[in-house]
Structure 1
Amino acid sequence: MRSALILGSTVAFATTAFAAIAQSFAPPAASPEQSSANYTGQTNGTISNPPLVKGKAFDRFIQIWIENTDFETAASSPVFQNLSKQGVLFDQFYAVTHPSEPNYLAAVGGDFFGAADDNFYHIPQNISTVVDLLEAKNISWASYQENMPYDGFTGFNFTQNNYLTNQGQYTYYVRKHNGLIVFDSVANVTDRALRIRNFNDFANDLKANDIPQWNFITPNLVNDAHDTTIDFAADWLNFWLVPLLEDPNFNTNRTIILLTFDETETYTINNRIFTLALGNGVPKELRGTTDSTFYTHYSALSTVEANWGLGALGRGDTNATLNNVFQFVANATGWKNNGISGNSSAIPLLNLTGTIPGPLNVNLYQPFAAPNTSGISPGGGPVFVAPGVNTSFTAAALPPPVNLAAQNKTNPWGTDPGIDYSTGTKVIKPPAPASSSSGSGSGSGSGSGSGTNGAATLDAHMSVAACFLLGIVAGVLAVL
């Protein structure tokens, strides 16, 4: 049995995450370069980017995430087989947990903070993301979210006209697939939040040749295979990605495109996902080959760090077991990977759910720890420490986990802070009354969206340990 030391010792298995809906693909727009009323959100003008910063192996990095598919299922698709001939297949690439949301958080924040569900969360202001690392080197970035109603939308989801059938409403956009907006260090900073853009903006930025250097792209819930099938997602890739591979405004001669999945559909197998490195930045001699190095979602962070000589977040991106840099980038930057590859017994179990303590785990609640300032960045820079972080509040110094659910307490980071950009300017809206919330959060058609019900209720008879922890959350957690 593979080692579970990195992610815990108890395996929590789940059933498959969803039942696919039988739908037929229909292009949401005339082409990837064209805006569409089906995307709902208006075009907000082109993005403003600083001058290009040269990387050691590539100058543009684009991640495209699709959903919930076992490796073998994707590998059986003719579209994915054809795309494999144009790039490098990473056949030992792993998601880091289940379900979706924690994987998206991990890919941009270096950790999933114990999250074991897809609920509404917000992560406090001084927990850093890849954005902090990029901006420290003046590297442009954006996230493009299909069917997000407006730039910087913070709602739990967005429901609109069903453009596939033109009958009724459909929820195409969900916050859980938009990792950066979950972090207050992005959502609560106007200039950053408005770089979380919709697909009408993407079309506009593409035509203007203004696609930034680092990008995270999330299709909607049908095009990403979450609510449909791998064949549906393949049709979307033929419509959207395949033509863009020929567009120099998207795929420059120094562009790497990482096409990957958030997780496997089957929870009872280790979390190996079909992943391709595409783009003109892939060395020609490697196209059509397979790389069996052990990679994870943290590798997307460490690879970017190595390429641009960045610092690190001091989390999964500096974990020597989990942070292998894409080998062709490691070769160009001088980084030495850990040697784990193939079907090695050193690959840890990465399908564990709910067993990792953390601030987003209501059953094993612990406050946020400071980043590991001793971590080594593949880029050679220092670990980024946000203002106000108490670096002595390390993982080893945390109090024991507390089961808030058993005490009928809600997670304090599940309360919607009410950040709203519907007018293009940040407004803080008051929380909805607790009685009107279902506890899981929902966005409205107007885009106002609400998260879980109000702040965590404190019980005067809570245990000393829980009182200590929640006190930290409420104030002493200025470690954050």
Structure 2
Amino acid sequence: MHVSPFVLTLASTLAFAAPAFAAIAQSFAPPAASPESSSANYTGQTNGTITNTPLVKGKAFDRFIQIWIENTDYDTAASSPVFQNLSKEGVLFDQFYAVTHPSEPNYLAAVGGDFFGAADDSFYHIPQNVSTIVDLLEAKNVSWASYQENMPYDGFTGFNFTQNNYLSNDGNYTYYVRKHNGLIVFDSVANVSDRALRIRNFNDFANDVKADVIPQWSFITPNLVNDGHDTTIDFVGDWLNFWLLPLLQDPHFNTNRTVILLTFDETETYTINNRIYTLALGGGVPAELRGKTDSTFYTHYSALSSVEANWGLGALGRGDTNATLNNVFEFVANASGWKNNGITGDSPAIPLLNLTGTIPGPLNVALYQPFTAPNASGISPGGGPIFVAPGVNSALTATALPAPVNLTAQGKSNPWSQDPGISYANGTKVISPPSPSGSASSGQGATTNGALGMGVDGSVLVCFVVGVIAGVITVL
């Protein structure tokens, strides 16, 4: 991501100091008997265990697990006794930064290397020829999955899901939201059955742990109370005591070659730079680093670049190859031979990463620009090639973009906010026909899967965009 002086100046006039959520006074209650137990509170049925490819040895670790918590300033997390105790078991990254606000763009960045200008948590889908970490992992046969607490079934593409409030048993509660499930937003995952069905619920997680089939790369999202979005850091601490601490002792989850990245999506306060409390835990963290602090400048893109360096992968040619933002975790860099950029501590070289709405892109309706091709000249920390999906217009680079367009001022909506209607409710892909109204409907409902489609694959989606707003928007 390139941040121009103009954008930095603009940000100073647009930044605001509002919390990202309002905490609800709730008392923690375990959603299941144990982390390895299925539960009706998770709603989703228990499916069979996944099948993984043979183990691919990494340079620093053989398993990488990300667990994301929500909307918390660094100092707030640092005040938590639970996080203080966990920091003694791993290495604290005290200069780790989210890349923007609000939540959804950060989740997109962590798996796709960019947030594509997104400045809100709306329903989006990203066309099929835009790649993710999944493409890089599969190119080297590294197994992967994502586990989403309270997702109603595997591959669910809906905007959110509301169910019985298991904490109070008084009414319903929305525990699952699409905006915290970055991979499902990409059609290259959601529109490919074998991939979409690796987006699994927590009943599946319990089964996969017991069967010792947790894959080599995992992204884990707790529900809206357990991740602190709707609650507090103390509630999160109670959940970590219930869920993570036992798993740290379970060799089916945490081996001597496992690294667990426990981090936050963003700060709660928007006017401070986006520094978030982040821990690397697990048996794969070198013993001499446990209880220590690493003050290297890291971002959510560092999770991508570190995985790339570890397994010798290619790169997405986006934030993962941005020389300012893609520092590899130091112990991984040492094992892989990658040289970081030297930015540490509170260096003035750390850019503002709390910008909201100021970055043009295809998910920004006020500053709309097309999806760009990957940066072919980018250097992967893993040494592999830049991954370019079939059908990408490689000529559409950042320097070849048209000026940003305000679609709202033209009375147009963002074309990528239209629900493509992909559903796995019965375990296989079904695509619903487009709504006659041409606007997203049940995909953004509280309890139903997306039912509106503007196309079934990347090419149809491209035809829709070019046909409706030809001359304004070009897409890959």
Question: 1:5-20 counterparts in 2 under 5 A?
Answer: 5=5, 8-11=8-11, 12-14=14-16, 15-20=18-23
Structure 1: which amino acid aligns with 2:92? L
String of CA shifts for 1:332-358, please: whole Å, max 9, x gaps.
Answer: 110000000000000000000000000
Q: Partner amino acid for 1:306?
A: A
Cα distance in 2 for residues equivalent to 1:453 and 1:47:
31
The alignment partner of 2:147 has SS state of strand
The within-5 A match list for 1:195-234 is 195-234=198-237
Q: Which residue of 1 aligns with 2:341?
A: 338
* 1:259 partnered with 2:266: no
2:312 is equivalent to residue 309 of structure 1? yes
Distance 1:467 1:437 in 2: 21
TM score, norm. by length of structure 2: 0.94
With over 3 angstroms needed to count, the CA separation of the structure-2 counterparts of 1:280 and 1:9, relative to structure 1, is same
Kindly, what percent of the aligned residue pairs are identical? 80
Deviation string, structure 1 residues 75-131 (Cα, Å, up to 9, x no partner)? 000000000000000000000000000000000000000000000000000000000
- Cross-structure match for 1:82: 85
Q: Does 1:171 align with 2:168?
A: no
Contact map agreement 2:106 2:266 (CA 8 A) in 1:
yes
Residue in 2 that maps onto 1:142: 145
- 1:17–1:441: structure 2 CA closer, same or farther, 3 Å change rule? farther
SS class of match (1:41) = coil
Q: Is contact 2:103–2:266 with CA below 8 Å preserved after alignment? A: yes
Residues of 2 paired with 1:444 and 1:352: CA distance?
29
Asked whether 1:365 is paired with 2:368, we answer yes
Aligned to 2:108: 105
Partner amino acid, structure 2, of 1:13: A
Query: Which residue of the partner structure matches residue 287 of structure 2?
Result: 284
Task: Tell me the residue number matched to 1:71.
Answer: 74
How far is 1:431 from its partner?
A: 3.4
Matched residue SS, 1:434: coil
Displacement after TM superposition at 1:441 (Å): 5.5
CA offset digits 1:273-326 (Å, max 9, x no partner): 000000000000100000000000000000000000000000000000000000
Once the two structures are superposed, the pairs formed by residues 402-441 of structure 1 within 5 Å of their partners are 402-434=405-437
Q: Tell me, which stretches of 5 or more residues in structure 1 are unaligned?
A: none
1:190 aligns with 2:193: yes
Cα distance, 1:467 vs structure 2: 4.2
**Rounded Cα–Cα distance in structure 2 between residues aligned with 1:436 and 1:293:** 45
The aligned residue for residue 270 of structure 1 is 273
AA aligned opposite 2:352: L
Would the alpha carbon gap of residues 194 and 6 (structure 1) be closer, same or farther in structure 2, given more than 3 Å must change? farther
Instruction: Find the aligned partners of 1:451 and 1:317 in 2 and give their Cα distance.
Output: 33
Output the amino acid matched with 2:189: V
Higher alpha-carbon deviation: 73-82 or 11-20: 11-20
d(CA) in 2 for partners of 1:443, 1:326: 39
Cα distance in 2 for partners of 1:10, 1:336 equals 33
Contact in 1 for aligned 2:422/2:453 (Cα 8 Å):
no
Given residue 389 of structure 2, which amino acid in structure 1 is its aligned partner? Answer: A
Q: Which amino acid aligns with 2:444?
A: S
Shift of 1:429: 1.0
Distance 1:393 1:30, change over 3 A: same
Per-residue deviation at 1:151? 0.3
Matched-pair contact (CA < 8 Å) for 1:7–1:350? no
CA contact (8 A) 1:156 1:450 kept: no
1:448 counterpart residue number: 449
Following TM superposition, by how much is the alpha carbon of 1:436 offset from its aligned partner in structure 2, in angstroms? 7.8
The amino acid that maps onto 2:322 is: N
Post-superposition shift, 1:437? 5.5
Deviates more, 1:3-12 or 1:129-138: 3-12
Cα 1:436–1:166 shift into 2, 3 Å? farther
The answer on 1:394 being equivalent to 2:386 is: no
State the alpha-carbon separation in 2 of the partners of residues 435 and 132 from structure 1: 31
- Residue 387 of structure 1 deviates from its aligned partner by 0.3
CA contact (8 A) 1:257 1:278 kept: yes
- The amino acid of 2:391's aligned partner reads G
In the superposition, the TM-score normalised over structure 1's length comes to: 0.93
Aligned-partner Cα distance in 2 for 1:49–1:94: 32
What CA RMSD, in Å, does the superposition of the two structures yield over aligned residues?
2.0
1:155 pairs with 153, 158, 165, which one?
A: 158
1:127 and 2:135 matched: no
Helix, strand or coil at the partner of 1:385: coil
Q: Can you list the C-alpha shifts for 1:42-86, whole angstroms capped at 9, x where unaligned?
A: 011000001000000000000000000000000000000000000
SS of match in other structure, 2:472: helix
Q: Secondary structure at the residue paired with 2:406?
A: coil
Contact 2:101 2:354 in 1 (8 A): yes
Please tell me whether the aligned partners of residues 422 and 429 of structure 2 are also in contact (alpha carbons under 8 angstroms): yes
Alignment size in residue pairs: 463
Could you tell me which residue of structure 1 aligns to residue 36 of structure 2? 33
Find out whether 1:52 has 2:64 as its counterpart: no
**CA distance in 1: counterparts of 2:435 and 2:166, whole angstroms:** 30
Change (3 A) 1:7 1:128: farther
For 1:93 and 1:271, the matched residues in 2 are separated by: 8
Where 1:469 maps in the other structure, the secondary structure is: coil
Retained in 1: the 8 A contact 2:418–2:439?
Answer: no
Q: Is residue 247 from structure 1 mapped to residue 250 from structure 2 by the alignment?
A: yes
Q: Structure 2 CA distance, aligned partners of 1:432 and 1:104?
A: 28
Determine which of 65, 90, 93 is the counterpart of 1:62: 65
